[in-house]
Amino acid sequence: MSQTVQGNISKDIISGVAIIGLIFTASIYLPIIGFFFSLFIPLPILFYRSKLGRTTGIIVYILSIIMMIIMTGGISLDIFFFVELLLLGFLLSELIEMHLSIEKTISYACAFVLITGIIILFFYSNLSNTGIYTMVSGYISRNLDLTMAMYESIGVPEESINVISNSMEKIQYVLIRIIPAMLISLTLFVSWVSLLIAKPVLKAKNIFSPDFGSLKLWKAPEFIVWIFIGCGVTLILPDNTFKILGLNGLIVLMTIYFFQGIAIVSFYFEKKNVPRIFRIFLYSVLALQQLVLLSVIGLGFFDIWLDFRKLSIKKES
């Protein structure tokens, strides 16, 4: 290998680690919006793994982990979260090269990341002589306390803070029990966003990019609507176990219908030639307004019967 090629690879490795470091710094030091920065952690590792290959991609991955540990001063649950995000980006790049469908690419990557996360959490709890439930419960409790302190610092009315404080035990009880669904939904969402952003970037750099077809025409398998309805029914049952299971199922399925809803919105944006600036504005509103978010999920759900994009007619034609 020539010195020029070696120099370019070394430069790419440094660039990849530096970009990940910048996103990581923003994620842990910027209040409120830091979490949103963390969602972009998989993108650099996906790009550099695709550009440099598996072996060099692993080097970027390992160096990034070492950098994170040095910056935070040790290993913690937060570090495991970022390690799993890096792994997600690496796996997405691996699966892209296998020419799989977008459903399989996202499903396989998410499944592997979640399984490895459970294994890591199990070993970490054993090393720290702390049960997984106790560890997770303590982690949520600390973050809720930090959230309350942040609310007080930004001037949230005292009445609102008191209401939240009085409900803290109930909030913690529910959060602990819906963590599985929250993790699955977050992993699905980050995978989806990473693939959407990575495709044009890889194309611009003449790197192999996935051909998933037009995602504006994507729709969820029809059979899951019955699973969704079944999960909804469990919420009216008296047994709390069934309610928790149903709630977890609803959260995951709402994420899937969100993808379908966004596909419908994007379809009509393109059909009506909506200006790019206006699209960005509407997507920003979607991220900030829960009612708009629920409306998009509703679009995806009722598309099963109303077929907003008239896909069945086009298929017959």
pLDDT at position 21, please? 92
DSSP character string of 255-287: HHHHHHHHHHHHHHHHHTT--HHHHHHHHHHHH
Q: Nearest to residue 24, comparing CAs of 66, 57, 52? A: 66
pLDDT at position 2, please? 46
pLDDT at position 211, please? 78
C-alpha 256/C-alpha 219 separation (Å) is 9
DSSP state at residue 220: -
Contact between residue 184 and residue 107 where contact means Cβ atoms under 8 Å apart: no
pLDDT at position 3, please? 47
Can you list the domains of the chain with their CATH numbers?
1-128+181-212 (1.10.1760), 214-317 (no CATH)
pLDDT at position 34, please? 78
C-alpha 184/C-alpha 110 separation (Å) is 7
pLDDT at position 316, please? 55
First to last CA, the chain: 55
Task: Write the single-letter amino acid at 38.
Answer: S
Q: List, as own/partner pairs, every contact residues 208-212 make where C-beta atoms lie below 8 angstroms and the sequence separation is at least 24, other chains included.
A: 208/50, 208/96, 208/97, 209/96, 210/96, 210/99, 210/102, 210/105, 212/101, 212/102, 212/105
pLDDT, one tens digit for every residue, the chain (317 residues) = 444 445 578 888 999 999 999 999 998 888 667 788 888 999 999 999 999 999 999 999 999 999 999 998 888 878 888 999 999 999 999 999 898 889 999 999 999 999 999 998 888 888 878 777 788 888 888 887 877 777 777 776 777 777 777 888 888 888 888 999 999 999 999 999 999 888 888 888 888 887 777 788 888 888 899 999 999 999 888 888 899 999 999 999 999 999 999 999 989 888 888 888 888 888 888 777 778 888 889 989 998 888 888 876 655 55
Contacts of 305 (CB under 8 A, 6+ apart): none
pLDDT in tens, 128-173: 787 777 888 888 888 878 777 777 777 767 777 777 778 888 888 8
**Is residue 167 helix, strand or coil?**
coil
Contacts of 216 (CB under 8 A, 6+ apart): 263, 266, 267, 270, 309
